[in-house]
């Protein structure tokens, strides 16, 4: 019977896929297992490489996601697509030491644990050749992350862990799926404190491909922590949307002041130019940050921009109308009226743009198989 599902989120890992499959085959000899690669439509053909192996090895499968990005959400889809009672989550970059998997499985059983974390901080674990800056950032993030947890572990930022399926399924509907720290998300989202065991390992150097960490990693980490603390009251996307809107106010004022100082435009014309420019800037920032996992490209970007401008134009009318009614009819103070109008416009812009501009895109259906005539039947 199948005992273990290994879920591997990938992006640009074509060269690493056959190496990881071979290493797991050697390490897990005697343990019935499957490998589920979840690839975010890598342009280097990672999904094709995984499927090529799956033709000869039925233990290997590939879930190719089109129009969606994100390590945590990829792991969630991979776990839901797997079948074993125990799931391993590990990266495809060969930095996680697959040789400790049998020991992790033994710890899970012997300690009756819900999760076994591959830790870099305890019992002889380490960071290998990772740079001092990366190590320092990891330690700082670990200290911050532990404040949000309902379970004790030395390495909540680890991307290498083993979990019982029933424990994962208890938390799956409350997972944020934001960023790349799915273990932190799991431990913070579980309806009960999970029993955690640890197995030390030393982080290895990347063999091929490219790091998943980029300039947005810190932002996504912050959004995850925010979602775990206030997400039950306010959607974290709305918080990001509002923060970008606040930046937009500064952009608007800067453009308006510049136009009035250096051009011959009347105030109304300059204000219109500043408004349109700010809408475009807000759209670009929200597309890159707030809706990074659904970001629009090419012609979809242009259509989305036009729709966003139309939506925000209606939001601006709602802003002014509500503020005016509160100020004129209810004699509310000017600042409270303005704040209520701004909030109403922001809620409108966020809600409608989430539905129409950055609506979740369903996975594209697989192409229909090409039916070829059977030569034997034609004879």
Measured distance CA(187)–CA(197) in Å, rounded = 13
The torsion of the CA quartet 112, 118, 119, 125, rounded to 10 degrees, works out to: 120
Range of the domain at 100: 4-213
* Whether residue 149 sits in one domain with residue 99: yes
The tokens for 72 are 């945590």
Average pLDDT over residues 91-107: 94
pLDDT of residue 366: 44
* Whether residue 311 sits in one domain with residue 193: no
Q: What is the number of domains present in the chain? A: 2
Residue 287 placed within a domain: yes
From 153, 179, 213, the end of a domain falls on 213
* Whether residue 243 sits in one domain with residue 208: no
* Whether residue 41 sits in one domain with residue 99: yes
* Residue range 103-142, pLDDT digits in tens: 999 999 998 999 999 998 877 777 665 556 666 666 666 6
CA triplet 20, 27, 212: central angle to 5 degrees? 30
* Whether residue 181 sits in one domain with residue 249: no
Q: Is the pLDDT of residue 314 over 80?
A: yes
Q: Which DSSP helix (H) or strand (E) runs through 102?
A: helix 101-110
* Residue range 169-180, pLDDT digits in tens: 999 998 888 877
The tokens for 1 are 């019977």
Residue 37, helix vs strand vs coil: strand
Q: Which residue has the higher pLDDT, 9 or 133?
A: 9
Q: Is the pLDDT of residue 369 over 50?
A: no
User: Which range is least confidently modeled, 154-163, 184-193, 214-223, 305-314?
Assistant: 214-223
Q: Is the pLDDT of residue 370 over 60?
A: no
* Whether residue 46 sits in one domain with residue 136: yes
* Whether residue 240 sits in one domain with residue 201: no
* Whether residue 240 sits in one domain with residue 183: no
Residue 350 placed within a domain: yes
* Whether residue 147 sits in one domain with residue 47: yes
Residue 49 placed within a domain: yes
pLDDT of residue 379: 38
Q: Give the closest residue to 221 by CA, choosing from 148, 166, 145, 170.
A: 145
Share the mean pLDDT of the chain: 84
pTM more than 0.75 = no
Q: Is the pLDDT of residue 18 over 50?
A: yes
* Whether residue 181 sits in one domain with residue 61: yes
Residue 308 placed within a domain: yes
What proportion of the chain, given as a percentage, has pLDDT over 70?
83
User: Which range is least confidently modeled, 21-25, 185-189, 282-286?
Assistant: 185-189
Residue 190 placed within a domain: yes
Q: Is the pLDDT of residue 377 over 50?
A: no
Residue 367 placed within a domain: no
End-to-end C-alpha distance for the chain, whole angstroms = 43
CATH of the domain at 58: 3.90.550.10
pLDDT of residue 206: 62
* Residue range 34-46, pLDDT digits in tens: 999 999 999 999 9
* Whether residue 155 sits in one domain with residue 46: yes
Q: Which residue has the higher pLDDT, 379 or 298?
A: 298
* Whether residue 154 sits in one domain with residue 186: yes
Residue 225 placed within a domain: no
pLDDT of residue 232: 74
Average pLDDT over residues 233-251: 87
């Amino acid at each position: 019977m199948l005992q273990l599902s290994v879920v591997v989120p990938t992006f640009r890992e074509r060269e690493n896929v056959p190496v990881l499959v071979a290493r797991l085959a050697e390490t897990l000899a005697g343990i019935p297992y499957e490998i589920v690669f979840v690839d975010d439509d890598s342009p280097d053909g990672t999904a094709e490489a995984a499927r090529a192996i799956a033709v000869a090895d039925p233990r290997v499968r590939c879930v190719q996601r089109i129009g969606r990005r994100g390590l945590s959400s990829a792991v969630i889809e991979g776990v839901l697509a797997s079948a074993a009672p125990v799931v391993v989550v590990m990266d495809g970059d060969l930095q996680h030491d697959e040789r400790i998997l049998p020991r992790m499985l033994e710890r899970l059983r012997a300690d009756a644990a819900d999760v076994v974390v591959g830790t870099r901080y305890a019992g002889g674990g380490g960071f290998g050749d990772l740079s001092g800056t990366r190590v320092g950032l990891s330690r700082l993030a670990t200290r911050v992350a532990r404040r949000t947890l309902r379970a004790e572990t030395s390495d909540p930022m680890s991307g290498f862990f083993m979990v019982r399926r029933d424990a994962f399924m208890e938390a799956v509907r409350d997972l944020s799926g934001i960023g790349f720290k799915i273990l932190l998300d799991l431990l913070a989202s579980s309806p009960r404190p999970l029993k955690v065991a640890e197995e030390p390992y030393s982080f290895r150097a990347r063999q091929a491909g490219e790091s998943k960490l980029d300039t947005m990693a810190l932002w996504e980490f912050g959004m995850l922590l925010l979602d775990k603390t206030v997400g039950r009251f306010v959607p974290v996307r709305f918080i990001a949307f509002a923060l970008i809107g606040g930046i937009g106010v500064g952009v608007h004022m800067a453009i308006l002041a510049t136009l009035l100082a250096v051009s011959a435009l009347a105030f109304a014309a300059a204000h219109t130019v500043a408004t349109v420019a700010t809408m475009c800037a807000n759209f670009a920032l929200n597309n890159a940050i707030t809706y990074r996992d659904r970001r629009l490209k090419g012609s979809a970007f242009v259509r989305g921009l036009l729709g966003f401008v139309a939506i925000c134009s209606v939001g601006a009318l709602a802003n002014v109308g509500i503020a005016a009614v509160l100020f004129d009819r209810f004699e509310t103070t000017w600042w409270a009226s303005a704040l209520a109008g701004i909030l109403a416009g922001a809620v409108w812009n966020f809600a409608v743009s989430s539905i129409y501009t950055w609506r979740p895109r369903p996975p594209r259906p697989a192409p229909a198989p090409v039916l070829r005539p059977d030569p034997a039947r034609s004879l």
